[in-house]
Structure 1
Amino acid sequence: MKTCWRGFSRAVGQVNTLMGYLSAVMIIICTMALTYEVVVRYFFNAPTSWSLEFNIFMLVASTFLAAAYTQIKRGHVGIGMLDSIMSARWNRWRYLVADLASLIFCSFVSYYTWKFFYMVWDQGWVTESPWAPKLWIPYFFMAFGLTSLSVQCLIQIIDEHLVSLEKGE
């Protein structure tokens, strides 16, 4: 059973790492699209109708896709000073409580985001711009990213906290 869990944990970590790198590429694409918009607007006085929404969709997607990768690296907001003040044992408990709270919150929001995604998909919502992209796109990335973050929190709880509790640390 531990071998299956380790394989699952490793696979999820690899997917989340890939999503983190993909999110970095998406930010680079946003930068290029925004630069294109500025150049076309300035030199040719011809604004694009798609650039703003494209960049918003890409930044939403990159933000939520990178969330689980950021959790792997423990890059979310934390109180670093407590690491040096508290003992290793108390820090493990502090991380456990934070990971459990994150898991509960992210799972709750993920559930409702998936429900909202389905509603937007089912009803065919689009933006009100002339380009009119489908609104399910950003909601899918929000739901997928929050689900990935929830799974990553669960993996960290099991890998980091339950294993140390089993060892009696």
Structure 2
Amino acid sequence: MMITLYKKTINGLSAAMGWLCGIGTLVMGLILFYEVVRRYFFNSPTIWTQEVSVYIFMWCMFGGASYALQKGKHVNIDLLTVKLSPKAQSKLKVLTSFFGALFCSEIAVQGWDMIESAVKYQKHSPTPLHVPLWIPQSALFLGFTLLALQFVVLIIEEIAFIRTGERDSVQEVNH
């Protein structure tokens, strides 16, 4: 079924991005450790570690958002919603996820516009690395695109629960 394939694909991409972000965080930590050793023990700071670390952080932050949503780890203020019935909570999740998907789609479009501008005008970082800016800007576009698609998965799962009153086993683990 097409919906099942969509859910598996998006969940798989989000999980892969979560895994890559974990590795990215480790690499970022190692890079910063390297900088500390170079700076304080050998009095020889680098010119690249801060910039590369910021780019890795951007990719991890934007890329990992869909994984966090998939696992139900986004900030959730539930003071009032926990008092609602499970179906009412699901209806509210559908509504908020719809607006979340719209918002993320708009940010993704803006991210795409930034990439187009960076490529068109050949923008580079004003640092010795001279990184083409479309590379770090791609994190915004890809991260928010995947986040919007993950919101759609959440909508599909919540609508299925509203209709059947049952959650599939994969979703129960994630919520």
TM-score by length of 2: 0.88
Candidates 94, 98, 101, aligned match of 2:99? 101
Letter in 1 for 2:73: G
CA RMSD across the alignment: 1.6
Where does structure 1 lack aligned partners over 5 or more consecutive residues? none
Letter in 1 for 2:32: L
Where does structure 2 lack aligned partners over 5 or more consecutive residues? 167-175
Letter in 2 for 1:113: G
Residue number in structure 2 paired with 1:7: 5
Deviation (angstroms), 1:118: 1.3
Partner Cα separation in structure 2 for residue 127 and residue 90 of structure 1:
48
Deviation (angstroms), 1:159: 2.6
The farther-off stretch of 129-138 and 16-25 is: 129-138
Alpha carbons 2:87, 2:161 under 8 Å: kept? no
Residue number in structure 2 paired with 1:91: 89
Partner Cα separation in structure 1 for residue 100 and residue 72 of structure 2:
12
DSSP-derived class of the 2:129 partner: coil
Deviation (angstroms), 1:141: 1.3
Candidates 64, 68, 71, aligned match of 1:70? 68
Deviation (angstroms), 1:15: 1.4
Candidates 152, 155, 167, aligned match of 2:153? 155
Q: How does 1:9-158 map to 2 (within 5 A)?
A: 9-158=7-156
The farther-off stretch of 66-75 and 76-85 is: 76-85
Candidates 161, 167, 171, aligned match of 1:164? 161
Partner Cα separation in structure 1 for residue 134 and residue 33 of structure 2:
26
1:118-152 Cα deviation digits (max 9, x unpaired): 11122211111112212111111110010000111
The farther-off stretch of 81-90 and 52-61 is: 81-90
Judging changes above 3 Å, is the alpha-carbon distance between structure 1 residues 101 and 89 closer, same or farther for their aligned structure 2 residues? same
Letter in 2 for 1:134: P
TM-score by length of 1: 0.91
Deviation (angstroms), 1:8: 2.0
Letter in 1 for 2:90: R
Partner Cα separation in structure 1 for residue 88 and residue 3 of structure 2:
26
Letter in 2 for 1:155: V
Letter in 2 for 1:164: F
Partner Cα separation in structure 2 for residue 59 and residue 168 of structure 1:
40
